[in-house]
Amino acid sequence: MKRFLLLFSMIFSGLLFSQTQLNLIPYPQKVEFQKGEFIIPENFKLDQNLPINETEYLKKRLNFLKFNYSRKEENPDLTYLVFPPNDLKKLKKSERYNLTVSSDGITIQSASDQGYFLALQTLIQLFKQYKDSGKIPAMKIEDEPKFAWRGMHLDVCRHFFTVEEVKQYIDYLAMYKLNTFHWHLTDDQGWRIEIKKYPKLTQIGSKRKESMIGAYVDNTFDGKPYGPYFYTQEQIKEVVKYAAERHITVVPEIEMPGHALAALSAYPELACTKGPFESATKWGVFDDVFCPKEETFTFLQNVLDEVIKLFPSQYIHIGGDECPKTRWKECAHCQELIKKNNLKDEHGLQSYFIHRIEKYVNSKGRKIIGWDEILEGGLAPNAAVMSWTGIKGGTEAAKSGHFAVMTPGSYCYFDHYQGDPQTEPNAFGGFTPLEKVYSYNPIPSELNAEQSKYILGVQANLWTEYILDFKQVQYMIFPRLFALSEVGWGTSNPENYKEFENRVVEHFKILDKMNINYAKSIYNISGKVIPSKNGVSYELSTSQNPNGIKYAIDGSEPKSNSATYQNPIPVSQSMTIKSAYFENGVLKSAISSQDFKTSKTTGKSITLEHQPSENYSFGGAFTLVDGIIGNVKQLGKTWLGFQGKDVVATIDLGEKTQFSEVYFNTLDNKGSWIHFAKSATISISDDGKNFKTIKEIGKNEILKAKGKINLKVGNQSAKFIKIKIGNAGIIPAGNPGADSKAWLFVDEIGAQ
């Protein structure tokens, strides 16, 4: 009899679960559905013991309900309990909560107001999902986040956003249980925080004479003065208070020793040279940085004194990234400092700089966090690392007992494209769609269980070079913020991505009601090139009904009566494939267009001696033989990027094949440290082991061709083609990023 009851209970529980799809983001750690339902009353009664500030927030978010605080003798609809003392001893996180929905009412249990506030976010989403039916299914939720740091960053230096817009941004974080707002307040293009001791920082450094517009390679400017734009200290206090009421910590970033042009424009005596300087009008990295002399440290300490008084956060972000050493190499004071302190080189000087700042911040009871370049020359004793160039910095930090926040560009840079670059607004580059963000695991596989404890969490960054207004901010973070939220909470499951995507679509309804501009890229057609018997095929997909995909291969735009997509489209010759999604004969997506230029290498097997950078590795080596020529204005899906490494590619043609020319493209974008290749060598082989060189070219020929390389190699016949494309190496003085490793970008390698 007991076995029968147990089986019946399991079946009944399964039926409840299958009939109840919760549209919660992030999804809770544990949900147990129970029998019954809560009928949403017209007059919703609140327990008098509820935390006041958080409950007022609830009332504002659920303005369609009538709320009343119940008298003690009445049965409230929402009750708040504190975990019993014995449970409190077991709690590891103040963010843990339980939420129980029954026919008698709703009970929230937590150890802190923060846990209660997070429970309210879940409750609000439940109300919004079941508002129309008026009934919330009975359930018990036991929940807490996996990671302590769940952050979003906002750059207000390249483009400025008002206090009200920053508050909206903070609201978005709160809605999806993120708890850290990283406020990027100073950079080459603008100083955005009032420092009373140094008024010229905002009088001069908060403005620039014009701004770069369009694609970087166009080198075009708008000719319009920008600024002065900055936040007063009273406004800073207002934002910090607003965030605290939503249990969000604001971490300020004051850049040093690089990205300092705006500060140097106001106080040129802090540089290694006399200047004059001005806030940067271009994007990128610049040679003029803070000089590590005593007046500089006095200045920065005074700045930090005022910053620390404004921000109660445990961590102060001091930047530390992309600091060229050109000026330090040429500076007599810097060279003397290196000798005096027995430093190895300029990288050691950077470490000296960071150590001094850390010691000062520690003396104020705070800690520093910086981008992973603060590892250069040795990490400061108590510093935490924000790992952006990949996972290496965070991995090294954790292995050495330092805390790290994982924010690799390949997964967490929301200034990257999130859909087909041809249908998206101009973006910085890269390709980071929703699915890729959702697939991220912040714990590097190289770490053991003990080392993994040093991974504080995960953060996404929004740099605003190409984001002109707040509507565009919304567009770039939504819906990717949903994925970040669930990754940080620790309940993401890439194998169930489609289920997550369904929840995302439901949350679009919430964004619509809030008049939030979001990317609808998941509705658009996604194209993927795959190898096929005779070259490549083009595979189309959509989050919607695949039967709604229409396409044309003659270059014309698809219509409702165009061919319906069923199987990958063979690409056996150069062509343009255009596709779109239709519903009941109505166009519902942007029209996607893809040009193909086929050659004798298209779809062939290819291997690389060196792998591309994580940030620019979409499609891997196959990207170089997929028949797609890269767009020089969009460093998205079609380019591979290599920092400090040559491209050495071997293509197996399958059989001896005749050809007489080899082509490839390389880029020049010095502001982003991207340089043309310095050389190229073509070799051939019949066995894949013994190669004969048939063509070599140098830097002058590549410059003359402006990176579009088409090499006549005579009549050749071979089974293997090897091409070595030489990286420019260390960036020379006089260029942005001097003394750093150059980037080499390459797209299609073809043969005719």
Q: List residues with catalytic annotation.
A: 187, 259, 322
653 is written with which tokens? 């043609």
Contact 680, 693 (CB under 8 A): no
DSSP per-residue codes, 565-589: P-SPEEE-SSEEEEEEEEETTEE-S
Residue 736: asked if its preceding bond is cis (omega within 30°), the reply is: no
Contact 399, 392 (CB under 8 A): no
Residue 737, Cα to own-chain centre: how many angstroms? 22
Unique residue bearing structure tokens 């936040």: 231
Q: Is 312 helix (H, G, I), strand (E, B) or coil?
A: coil
DSSP per-residue codes, 432-469: --HHHHHT--SS-TT--HHHHTTEEEEEEB---TT--S
- Classify residue 219 as left (phi > 0), alpha (psi -120 to 50) or beta: left
The DSSP letter of residue 666 is: B
Question: Which residues are 384's β-sheet partners?
Answer: 369
Q: CA–CA separation, 457 vs 150, rounded Å?
A: 6
| Inter-residue long-range contacts of 734-737, CB under 8 Å, 24+ positions, other chains counted | 734/287, 734/326, 735/670, 736/284, 736/285, 736/286, 736/287, 736/324, 736/670, 736/671, 736/672, 736/673, 737/284, 737/285, 737/322, 737/324, 737/673
Q: Is 385 helix (H, G, I), strand (E, B) or coil?
A: strand
Q: CA–CA separation, 748 vs 668, rounded Å?
A: 16
733 is written with which tokens? 């003085």
Burial class (CB in 10 A: 0-12, 13-18, 19+), 113: middle
Handedness of CA 559, 561, 566, 570 (dihedral sign): negative
- Interacting residues of 572 by C-beta distance below 8 A, sequence separation 6+: 534, 535, 598
Burial 255-268 (b: 16+ CB within 10 A, else e): bbbbbbbbbbbbbe
- Interacting residues of 675 by C-beta distance below 8 A, sequence separation 6+: 668, 728, 731, 742, 743, 744
Contact 581, 589 (CB under 8 A): yes
